[in-house]
Structure 1
Amino acid sequence: QALCALPAEPGAASAFVAADYDQLVDAPIFAGSPLVQSFVESGKEVLVVTEGADARWPQAQALQDVQRLVRTQRHLWGELPFARYIFFNLLVEGYGGLEHRDCAVLMASGWAARSRKDYLEWLGLVSHEFFHLWNIKRLRPVELGPFNYEAENPTPSLWIAEGFTAYYDDLLVHRAGLCSREEYLGRLGRAIERLHQSPGRLVQPLAEASFDAWIKFYRRDENSDNATVNYYLKGSVVAFLLDAKIRLLTGGRQSLDEVMRLALQRFAHGYTQSAFTALCDQVAGASLAPFFHCCVDTATEVDLGEALAYYGLGFGGGDAAAAAPAGSLGIVPRLDGGRLWVAEVRRGGAAWEAGLQPDDELLGIDAWRIAPTRFVERLRSFAPGSRLSLLVARRERLARLPVTLGADSQAFANLSFVPQPSAAQRQARDGWLGALPASP
């Protein structure tokens, strides 16, 4: 069986027609014997084509959940701009996705549905790629189409195309009624925590990270986290802050949702970064130039305070408040060939200050040799501020490095609602998080 989002050639079961080369390369063809399920939403057919479905995969539940996501996104954008759409759901031992004009290719483990965390991750992937149906395939930076297939197509606006999509993916899983508010806040909080664990956020501006994706984001090395910022990650946090700011400035009457809908209407031939931010100004009814200067054009630390206060959110509590912080070297370790190596040294961390380098082999702490598989565990038994001697091998030469441990950052752990919100905060939360729209 051959499946493709292109229209079929009349009278031919497995022949498809592309109007031009752009359509051809944007329409993957699946050939095999998959599980094919479908539903109709607002008069449009949606197929879920699953390769590798077996007893581990909840076929009926997954189909129902995908339909709820499709309905929720249609409610946000206003219409479904296709005659037929296909989710190619490949249950392989990998993870990722790629959007196309009228379909998306998803990769996830067949075990994903056996874990609540992994299943929410899969729903977020479905949501992310389907959101691209509008945000990037029909609403795009001007540099991203028509494509020049013989050269790079850099744009400073990937923080909108990908970062805003990364903000909405989990948010719309929640609005679809597929996860609780607490589960959603957990995922949002982890994104904020990951951003603040990235030293490169204070080095590379977000617009530059977007523009340099061709030469940096997809060509990572041992210093990438120190010198660059992830435009998916920071873009999603900036979208969260921008959404809150617009809601605050307009008394909850407008939001980033309205920006996206208007942008879809106005930028049929693509947008520049300045045109998009000007539209944000219009919807907010105020100049947001200082916000974008801080969050997009410079590598200044983003200010979370306004958004947290508006919604009545805070960090801490639960296990994060009860647990004492563990000592930290500030490295990313790599276990390879039964030996433990330093893969990355984080700027400003204990290892950075001690002179540890990528590709150093970690052998022992003080007078003890530590098994490679237990090194991280043993290190965490020391409190922040502990002074240790690390035994390392650098290009086969043994050396001892004195180090003073830092602390695992817990400043952004456990995002949660404050226990006694004001009426205004409760109203702001409801406007932001919404609820599943009624079936048509």
Structure 2
Amino acid sequence: MHNNISVSPFNAEQKNAPFSYTIDTHDLQHHYFTVTLLIENPDPNGVQLRLPAWLPGSYMIRDFAKHIVEFSAVGMGKKLNYTRPDKSTWHIEQFSGPITIIYKVYAFDLSVRTAWLDSEFGFFNPSAVCLEVLNAPTAANDNKINDTRYQLQVLPPKKNAGADNQWQLATGMPCIDSDKRGFGTYIANDYAELIDYPFLIGALTHIEFTVANIPHSLVLAGRHFANETQLCKDLKAICEAQIEFWQGNVPFDNYQFLTMVVGEGFGGLEHRNSTALICSRHTLEPGSASAVVNDEYLTFLSLCSHEYFHSWNVKQLRPKAFHPYDLSQEQYTEQLWFYEGVTSYLDDYFVQKSGVMPAGQFIQRLGQSISRALRGKGPQRQSVLESSSLAWTTFYQQNENAQNAISSYYSKGAAIALLTDLMLRQASNQLLSIRDVMIKLYIEHREHGTNHIDLIAAIANVGNPEIAKHVQQWLETTATLPVDIWLEQFGIEVSPNSAEALTLQPGLSATLANQVSLGAVLQEKGNQIVIARVYEDSAAALAKVAVNDRLVAIDFLEVTRNNLQRAFNRYKPGETVKIHVYRDDQLLERELTWQAPQADCFALSIRNKAACEQWLRF
């Protein structure tokens, strides 16, 4: 574990690639990456350029081209004209000879999807900054052009740009030449490969370890208080468990967890030999040396586990509809329940199997996941197949009515994966599990991808047709999932309860173990308590309380974040009170009849340790 950058030993003579990008990082204060694209051998009929509308793994149209400013094209000193056929495309006029494209990319989206640049650190996915040449001529017989199709050079910030002079660069893209900090020239064979390597720059911390003779690195950008030794140990154990799961078949020769550490943030996106992550500062602290590990630290490790598993289950094995990706428009698949749901079931599983997460905490977190999957009317209205297909709109663009309208292919997909695993184990006396399904699919469909029938057939072949029939029903309908019945057969006690979390976001999450339910999610905005979501047929809905109403009084007494829980605890189900809310600038009085909290939470506990331990291993 150290903080040094290792320079690639391969330092070949650089020739001009057909497409060479230079990324200048000096304009930190304005958050611009300045990009220069040199096209050595352009199509004589004119060059067509495009930036993707979305990127693999994040199923929402993002229109990255909207962030491009100051676009220009030059050929041998001559300014070239261009047109914009659509929002993502540029068409450069005909020209004989090399063409240089220069543009700026506004980089102020602090996420794993696009680009960010300020005086603290920088990050970019090439899909958000590197234009694709659509009518690229082949160069196989041109001796003047290197076999490598794409080169990408990243320049460090200038000394007076406001960045730390110790800034470094980290990426999984192969390097042909760099300085000791990592700034230099990187290569890719095609555009799909080019955009599958994110870049992280800044004052970086490198936490390095080796798994199965493969170098791994957790790279942190941003101020942090991580226990580096503990992180190294825990993350290594998780990676070892996953490589063992895949029987030693590893699709990369090095791997990086590229992590932006911020005040508040969470997310990850998989790539071919790395993942881009964002996390809150406090999540990197494991807590005291007790039997219970800091749950937020476990959540970060689970995120790492989730994205690492995608190296096989998405980056290698993926839906047939994504062979190839078409990043100019939406691509639909019913299979996200499998690629995200199974991964969501197994991410915590590997943290537990590695010995980092105690079994009791794994079971507790599983109960929380099941509760999220089944709570509300959404799972009763939308199947996970439909949820997968409509990820582009209903899941990735959720509104305040989401809990009443949609199901989650993540959490409900994970619950179906759990049931599949348990049924396979019972039918085979613990000889078979969901692992066998994954291995079969990986071997048989890695090259060309899967469709829905392939997934069901694999379950039937590994297990039996009856198991596959149940799984298909749960996928295609909104039938209730019998998680309680199956978990109890593996030593887990399932206790549906009516404890409702009184959630005031951000800052307060208290459990009312008895008393009443409002049936709404509250949010603190300044000194105001705002209705963020309302569940159908709840006390709030029947009282005609709406999203964005500001709750000011219950029973003619002012409500604040400090007395909110006490106010709720004064009442019993069936009692009616007057409440007051502001809607826009109008004060409204509503009559609200309190309801009993619904038994939609699942508390899990280990009843039979031996039976549970048989399940918690592969």
- The normalised TM-score by structure 1 is 0.91
Residue 363 of structure 1 deviates from its aligned partner by 2.1
1:99 aligns with 2:270: yes
Shift of the 30–367 alpha-carbon distance from structure 1 to 2, 3 Å rule, reads closer
Q: Which residue of 2 aligns with 1:434?
A: 617
Q: Which residue of 2 aligns with 1:31?
A: 201
- The normalised TM-score by structure 2 is 0.66
Which of 252, 256, 272 aligns to 2:451? It is: 272
Q: Which residue of 2 aligns with 1:59?
A: 228
Pick which of 236-245 and 357-366 moved more. Answer: 357-366
Distance between the aligned counterparts of 2:338 and 2:496, measured in 1? 32
1:403 aligns with 2:581: no
Deviations 1:265-319 (A, max 9, x none): 1112110011111101111123334423432111222112331222121234999
Residue 368 of structure 1 deviates from its aligned partner by 2.2
Shift of the 31–216 alpha-carbon distance from structure 1 to 2, 3 Å rule, reads same
Q: Which residue of 2 aligns with 1:378?
A: 567
Residue 411 of structure 1 deviates from its aligned partner by 5.3
Q: Is the 8 A contact 2:423 2:467 kept in 1?
A: no
Residue 31 of structure 1 deviates from its aligned partner by 2.3
Residue 391 of structure 1 deviates from its aligned partner by 1.9
Residue 144 of structure 1 deviates from its aligned partner by 2.4
SS of match in other structure, 2:351: helix
Which of 580, 583, 587 aligns to 1:391? It is: 580
Q: Summarize the alignment of residues 169-208 of structure 1 with structure 2, pairs less than 5 Å apart.
A: 169-208=347-386
Q: Which amino acid aligns with 1:165?
A: T
Which of 315, 328, 331 aligns to 1:150? It is: 328
SS of match in other structure, 2:306: helix
Q: Which residue of 1 aligns with 2:259?
A: 89
Distance between the aligned counterparts of 1:82 and 1:70, measured in 2? 13
Residue 173 of structure 1 deviates from its aligned partner by 0.3
Q: Which residue of 2 aligns with 1:20?
A: 190
Higher relative contact order (CA 8 A, sep 6+): 1
Deviations 1:67-108 (A, max 9, x none): 101100001011222111111122222111111010011211
Larger Rg: 2
Q: Which residue of 2 aligns with 1:438?
A: none
Distance between the aligned counterparts of 2:542 and 2:205, measured in 1? 55
Q: Which residue of 1 aligns with 2:215?
A: 45
Q: Summarize the alignment of residues 256-271 of structure 1 with structure 2, pairs less than 5 Å apart.
A: 256-268=434-446, 269-271=448-450
The percentage of counterpart residues that share the same residue type is: 28
Distance between the aligned counterparts of 2:490 and 2:574, measured in 1? 36
SS of match in other structure, 1:139: coil
Deviations 1:345-399 (A, max 9, x none): 1023222223222222222212323236533541244233332222223343333
Shift of the 195–319 alpha-carbon distance from structure 1 to 2, 3 Å rule, reads closer
Q: Is the 8 A contact 1:281 1:288 kept in 2?
A: yes
Pick which of 131-140 and 10-19 moved more. Answer: 10-19
Which of 469, 480, 487 aligns to 1:301? It is: 480
Bigger helix fraction: 1
Distance between the aligned counterparts of 1:165 and 1:430, measured in 2? 21
Residue 407 of structure 1 deviates from its aligned partner by 2.7
Pick which of 249-258 and 194-203 moved more. Answer: 194-203
Distance between the aligned counterparts of 1:294 and 1:351, measured in 2? 34
SS of match in other structure, 1:30: strand
Which of 102, 126, 132 aligns to 2:310? It is: 132
SS of match in other structure, 1:215: helix
Distance between the aligned counterparts of 1:318 and 1:222, measured in 2? 25
Residue 65 of structure 1 deviates from its aligned partner by 0.9
Pick which of 40-49 and 67-76 moved more. Answer: 40-49
- Cα RMSD (Å) of the superposition? 2.4
Which of 67, 72, 85 aligns to 2:241? It is: 72
Pick which of 166-175 and 381-390 moved more. Answer: 381-390
SS of match in other structure, 1:288: helix
Distance between the aligned counterparts of 1:395 and 1:135, measured in 2? 47
Distance between the aligned counterparts of 1:170 and 1:289, measured in 2? 24
Distance between the aligned counterparts of 1:374 and 1:220, measured in 2? 31
Shift of the 393–288 alpha-carbon distance from structure 1 to 2, 3 Å rule, reads same
Distance between the aligned counterparts of 2:326 and 2:565, measured in 1? 47
Distance between the aligned counterparts of 2:329 and 2:381, measured in 1? 27
Q: Is the 8 A contact 1:327 1:381 kept in 2?
A: no
Q: Which residue of 2 aligns with 1:230?
A: 408
Q: Which amino acid aligns with 1:99?
A: E
SS of match in other structure, 1:88: strand
Q: Is the 8 A contact 1:328 1:380 kept in 2?
A: no
Deviations 1:137-194 (A, max 9, x none): 1111112231111101121111111111111000110000001110101110111122
Distance between the aligned counterparts of 1:312 and 1:294, measured in 2? 25
Q: Is the 8 A contact 1:325 1:410 kept in 2?
A: no
1:110 aligns with 2:110: no
Pick which of 382-391 and 78-87 moved more. Answer: 382-391
Pick which of 129-138 and 389-398 moved more. Answer: 389-398
Bigger strand fraction: 2
1:414 aligns with 2:609: no
Q: Which amino acid aligns with 1:9?
A: I
Distance between the aligned counterparts of 2:575 and 2:356, measured in 1? 44
Shift of the 92–394 alpha-carbon distance from structure 1 to 2, 3 Å rule, reads closer
Q: Which residue of 2 aligns with 1:211?
A: 389
Deviations 1:312-345 (A, max 9, x none): 212349997x984231110112222432222211
Residue 212 of structure 1 deviates from its aligned partner by 0.5
